Structure 1
């Protein structure tokens, strides 16, 4: 029933036009002015306040309605630069039959009209805003940087109750489901306490929340009022119903008025708490009897609400930052542990305690194909396997999280004790590889201010609740909710984890390539041992036999020739073994880079080759070479091999010309060794740097076939590259590069 005894239709309350009710609260009146300054709309309670009917003032100037004195006082405050979209204080004027009735005039522009609201006030003088500044200052002094949101809310509730005189002031926050949770309360004992209780989301319909965001303060002075209608009913400029979203006197839903009466409150005021652009909660004020709060006190409360919202933002940001820092520290520890060994699953097993701390979970599992490793309180292996199969079919994002797994995956109700919450991270888009965190069931009770309607239904008609007695609900099948920071950190963790996996895959690919190269080298080594090394040994054995058979019969010259051949074969076998040992050590020895004078290094190599060039016409053409940072022993060996080859393959030339030059080019230094020797066929250049690969007959050019393989390994160990080009019969050019900054060891 409504206050006038008519029935209350509740079926379409959530669609009720609360922005365009067509009426106002009667503790004041409204005059709407058109662009020409004449009155185009008025509330039907003008006879009560001015002694004239609305029809008598329509089409007339403002002076005819409120008198010349009041209009003269008010007119300077109504300029376009003074009036905004939200109601602002214009003046306090006196009117009425005896001229003693005082009104605060609020003005705002909306819906093509200049809306003037006249609120009756009991004070003797004009509105005084001077107390606002010390009030705000005192409030700020009471807040500490270390205060919790609840503590700050308690302070705000106490201050606002002192300003307004209301019997009870609540500060409540909306949760993720839209339910309001009372965090703080200031109560003089005249009304029941709701501290710690919850109000269902259905108590504040969607369109009401939207209006709370647009107009952040609302007052109902008397829940038993009879609305005053606007005349005419529609906006005469637009032909549509007036949008009173920002009007302080806007009439409210009769459903809400009945709700207030059922709650035992006959006056209420609400202040919206906006945090980061969303409706975080409300400051809700109640009184057991009608109570009017004048505009200057409402302004003070609105300022306190804005300060509280800013401090909540700051506190939540600080708490969020600290939370993320704590989670990140754990994440760094976990990632460090995941890079220790080669087996990823074993690495995960080694950091399971940190993984639980990272997600504040009770159990964790790693699933890699058919292999499952668990830690802590988790479902069984078969249950995890079935869960992963469901995740593969049902989810396709980078992360899946829920605090009520049983509602989305029915089999999970069997193990909801250990896994009512799930955070699932796929670590492969191809294979069924998952990292899972489980949160146990958090059985808890929620105290509601009266039994709420079905909180999961949105199709039920809205009605004012008749009971606000504490109603306790026990919640099963849910875990503690996942914090947004945990979700973001988990996504960051996944990115880092995939980076580790990718790096490991690259390392394995490099290892596979290196193993392939090693296998080829091993094959070549086997061939060399069976062929190259066997040949000089056969010579040694063969000539030794000949020497024994000819003992005492042959001339000294013949025996000396046999001994010479034995010596040469033994020397070749020894050199082959030395080169093999050098090649083997090249892959294991650590680099010891220093500043290297390449000119001095080339001179020392030429000096070592003096025995090989004796009696030959060899011209060395060496330009001024730039210095490099490298391991001098290794670089000298590479240079010696290149220069030795140049000497060897120019042996058939009457005059050998060997050139060495170098230059800097960007981030590297390039060196070239050129000769005018026999050269080689470029069709076989790919074999040139392989172990025991020869492009010429051994009978023509002696060698072990390991020198150029050593050159390549040395240069690549330094992060450089080596190349060769040639024209048969015209010589060869070998080029190698050394980066100016060596790669890390």
Structure 2
């Protein structure tokens, strides 16, 4: 439907909605209406009511009701009016012979049923044609007995509608009876039909919502039966036009004889209908649908028949509600069983996000979806048919601007105009979202694929053809018009939205419980970690002395008896000294690594370029004659601990120079290259400065990259490249304490690049371990800058403060 056509239909519907159809100022002339005061005096009447009294209408006004209809009728009507307890509910008072008939003579007029009601303080009496003067409800049961007895055979709503259409068609004798339901947008869908030969069928077709404006729908809920006996009728006006008690037009909302809008009368004629009767199907207080009867000539069903049809509509309403409630209860139960199964699996796994993806059937069945995505802590778990990562990222950015914790749509392209531009296709025409945390972008999103629907309309709903006026006119054509609807999914049912909400609550409970468990675990790990750090610190300190003794005594042995040793003995001595010194270096590195997590951070502005240039110069002094090219790019200043930044860059630059040891050994080969640079962080690293150290050395196989930053992890033989395997572990620990991250990329024999990021808005954590003073920090910086191990004061396992000082066994002093 084009925008112009939609606007035209909307304008027509708006015009209809503004029409005062509840105060038409007259009635249909197949019956009579009067308004009486508390004393039973006629104060307003339809002009045709004078026919009952055989006089002029003006003469009737101000007279007792008995003058119009006789004492019996007046007694029935006034007693019924006095018994009314609520406004707006019509009450059958009884039936009488037509006052114009002579008692004892053959009747020339049908009996009249008397119906009364009170609305806005106005007392109204209506006289309508009836079958007989006998009690109307006694004759009603035979009419509805077949319908009542057949209800148990109707298995679903469609069966109920078919039964109602057939029975009302039989009872009323109208040429065509249709039952149609309204969808969420107000369009009517014909779900059952019964008709005589020669009448056109509408089964399966739809009537646009604009055919019944909002005001008419409201009247259908209040007054649940409406008869138009003759499309060519001339309305009988109310006299006087304004009610004497209110000074306003009389509200005929609950009057069964209320005159009909000329627009609707013309609509009937355009449809080939000259008489119609509609009964409302009201479910849970909402207009669920209508039973609509049509006839191609004028037709006045008796009051008893109308009452029977109204009763069938009431029973049908209750049955539809019961069927829907039963089906809804079964569906909700199935959804909750699925939810229970899914939550049980999630609660019993360490990684509940992964468990969502492992039970794909349950996750999709939970809300009847065809695809789903769970986003938690930056991870995206995709299930079934769902958009790609780029589309999900764009969708999350849009969801961040929305306010609902639970959001559902069956037309995502309309709700999110950027859907198509970001590659969201027909696999995600509908979407149901539950937000766990907007701050951390934690969501569960279900998708439904596009359902292409072909809708058969009873006439083009865009049409606004000629009618009664240029601004208010009915449709003229009811020829089948076919519309193909694309880009929309099946609508989300309320039960699905509710179970999605419950699932969100349960997930938040799991996350909260996990957070409490993790907090407890973090406390325990912190305690254990502090004990391990203290233990490793103490052990490292205590191992230094025996290793120094081994080196010292081996040196003495070599000086005293080296000439008398055999070649094999000399080899043993050298091996002892080399391994003891390596052990000492290992202990020193372990001691330094332990200190990384104990000392408080004292961040300040650090000029990373100046630091890198100094370290490149220092670390390249011992390379001998091999050729080395170095490049330090434009590095920024960072807010970090200067001592630890020295450790980070020194380790990375020293490693880069060490692992290019096979490059630049001769003039013909390519020189060794070491580059230090930086980039601005993007995506998850937005707000970070990203630094790197790149070389063209031996590189490594990326299959083992996860071991690179582990303690004592080595990817090359120690004979080729000496080292303890602690340097990169120290780098990672320092960077993480600064709120950054580390990673690497390499190719064998083509070099490696080690990256680390530092946040621009770094705020140091609270002091951990030893509380360092400014003097201690200066001492630490001086020690590290000179290449000597820093020996802080530490507490051993007994809590005694000690200083890292050992005695040389050879008597050469302290070291």
Same fold judged by TM-score > 0.5? yes
Alignment of 1:139-178 (within 5 A): 139-144=147-152, 147-178=155-186
Aligned-partner Cα distance in 1 for 2:486–2:798? 75
Q: Does 2:233 match 1:233? A: no
**In 1, are the aligned partners of 2:157 and 2:320 still within 8 Å (CA)?**
yes
CA offsets per residue over residues 86-120 of structure 1, 9 Å max, x none?
22222322345543433222222223232111223
**In 1, are the aligned partners of 2:87 and 2:120 still within 8 Å (CA)?**
no
CA offsets per residue over residues 220-257 of structure 1, 9 Å max, x none?
11111000001100110110110111111110101011
1:10–1:412 distance in 2 versus 1, CA, 3 Å: closer
Match of 1:513 in 2: 523
3-state SS of 1:507 partner: helix
Match of 1:296 in 2: 304
Aligned-partner Cα distance in 2 for 1:381–1:692? 51
Alignment of 1:273-284 (within 5 A): 273-284=281-292
Match of 2:125 in 1: 116
* Gap regions ≥5 residues in structure 1: 1-8, 535-689, 696-745
**In 1, are the aligned partners of 2:367 and 2:499 still within 8 Å (CA)?**
no
CA offsets per residue over residues 544-588 of structure 1, 9 Å max, x none?
xxxxxxxxxxxxxxxxxxxxxxxxxxxxxxxxxxxxxxxxxxxxx
- What's the CA shift for 1:335? 1.6
- What's the CA shift for 1:486? 0.6
Match of 1:249 in 2: 257
1:146–1:297 distance in 2 versus 1, CA, 3 Å: closer
Q: TM-score, normalised by structure 1?
A: 0.66
Q: Which one of the candidate residues 462, 472, 477 is aligned to 1:453?
A: 462
Aligned-partner Cα distance in 1 for 2:13–2:387? 47
Q: Does 2:103 match 1:93? A: no
Alignment of 1:319-468 (within 5 A): 319-368=327-376, 370-393=378-401, 395-413=402-420, 414-453=423-462, 462-468=472-478
Aligned-partner Cα distance in 2 for 1:11–1:324? 38
Aligned-partner Cα distance in 2 for 1:692–1:369? 38
Match of 2:565 in 1: none
Match of 1:51 in 2: 54
**In 2, are the aligned partners of 1:14 and 1:462 still within 8 Å (CA)?**
no
1:177–1:138 distance in 2 versus 1, CA, 3 Å: same
3-state SS of 1:247 partner: coil
**In 2, are the aligned partners of 1:450 and 1:468 still within 8 Å (CA)?**
yes
Aligned-partner Cα distance in 2 for 1:10–1:392? 37
- What's the CA shift for 1:493? 0.5
Aligned residues: 527
**In 2, are the aligned partners of 1:29 and 1:43 still within 8 Å (CA)?**
yes
Q: Does 2:35 match 1:32? A: yes
Aligned-partner Cα distance in 2 for 1:154–1:378? 40
Aligned-partner Cα distance in 2 for 1:512–1:96? 95
CA offsets per residue over residues 67-87 of structure 1, 9 Å max, x none?
456546665555435996422
Q: Does 2:505 match 1:495? A: yes
Aligned-partner Cα distance in 1 for 2:282–2:72? 41
- What's the CA shift for 1:196? 1.0
Aligned-partner Cα distance in 2 for 1:427–1:29? 64
1:326–1:145 distance in 2 versus 1, CA, 3 Å: farther
Match of 2:45 in 1: 42
- What's the CA shift for 1:434? 2.0
Aligned-partner Cα distance in 2 for 1:145–1:512? 64
| Two-structure CA RMSD over aligned residues (Å) | 2.9
**In 1, are the aligned partners of 2:538 and 2:796 still within 8 Å (CA)?**
no
1:147–1:519 distance in 2 versus 1, CA, 3 Å: same
Q: Does 2:280 match 1:272? A: yes
3-state SS of 2:349 partner: coil
Bigger shift: 206-215 or 145-154?
A: 145-154
Aligned-partner Cα distance in 2 for 1:450–1:225? 26
3-state SS of 1:424 partner: strand
**In 1, are the aligned partners of 2:338 and 2:366 still within 8 Å (CA)?**
yes
